[in-house]
Amino acid sequence: MKTGFSVSKLGIIFLSALFFANSAFAQIDDDEPIRVESSLVVINATITDAKGKPVSGLRQNQFQVLEDGKEQKIEFFEAEKTPFAAVILLDSSGSMEQRISLGRSAAIQFLDRLRTDDVTAIFNFDSKISLVQDFSNSRDIYEGIFDIKANGMTVLNDAIVKAAEELGKRSEKRRAIIVLSDGADTQSRRSADKALKAALAVNATIYTVDMSGINSGNNRERMQNQGILKNFAEKSGGKFIATPGGVAMRDAFKNIVEELGVQYTLGYHTTNTSKDGKWREIELKSTKAGLNIRTRKGYNAPKGK
């Protein structure tokens, strides 16, 4: 497919974007803004039909990118199956006591569907964040995951920031964070907004799986926590999965792996050169009718001189 960009030029552009994305994490205190530091904006998009099936074969001239309502020139475009890097975050806090085994099962199912060049790391989080398994394309899971017990408070937001940091070091253009949690954050130093911005800064798509269970606790509290998980997914272009377990969960993880592999990757240099630190809304459209498009909703501009 001819896109007007050579592979070498595309590589140089993306490495530049990767450098600037990494620089966003020099400091990650909650009062330090996490933002895009370059005029280059890279977006990954999942395109599905009316039945929810991924759509392939679309061309660059069938897309239009708008930033704050103004059309942007698409500088590069990729549509082929491309390796991805993912981080699985397994909630192991005290509120997950009855569902920790289900979370382990979900992580195993995700690894089992990896392709040869896909890589995944696994962290568990409670009052702290711990590495279970570093980035690897192995379908085998570290045995230590079976020793994880539900205990302590919940640092969900901090865990997402940590996942974004680790993905920011990777060379893969397609990045994802898979959160297995009941959504109740009780001890993070960062806010949910800060966590979302951290993920957007490295162009990571967040998939959230509600592990609270149908009959768990206060229904109002559960709906509030679900709202947090939904927001992470919707703002980053990911997907919220409401009812884990059984065939539904297996199908959900199969679909996540499949769509990460067939996303469309587009990049543009923003025409807005103002370094005001403000939120900029991204809208991706297609000239082909009847398509559902999921991508991140925007990013924070650089701030400074």
Q: Find residue 72's DSSP bridge partners.
A: 65
Residue-wise pLDDT tens digits, 267-293: 999 999 898 889 999 999 999 999 999
Among 3.40.50.410, 3.20.20.100, 3.40.50.10240, 3.40.50.720, name the CATH number for the domain at 1-305. Answer: 3.40.50.410
Helix 219-236 × helix 192-201 angle, to 10°: 20
Is residue 248's pLDDT more than 80?
A: no
Looking at residues 161-178, what average pLDDT do you find? 94
Q: How far apart are CA 89 and CA 211, in angstroms?
A: 12
Structure tokens at 40: 């280059």
Domain ranges of the chain: 1-305
Is residue 179's pLDDT more than 90?
A: yes
Q: How far apart are CA 189 and CA 209, in angstroms?
A: 22
Residue-wise pLDDT tens digits, 204-235: 999 998 888 655 556 888 888 899 999 999 99
Q: 33-38: which pairs have CB atoms within 8 A and are 24 or more residues apart?
A: 33/197, 33/277, 33/300, 33/303, 34/194, 34/197, 34/198, 34/201, 34/300, 35/197, 35/201, 35/277, 35/299, 35/300, 35/301, 35/302, 35/303, 36/201, 36/299, 36/300, 36/301, 36/302, 37/302, 38/302
pLDDT the model gives residue 200: 92
Looking at residues 242-259, what average pLDDT do you find? 76
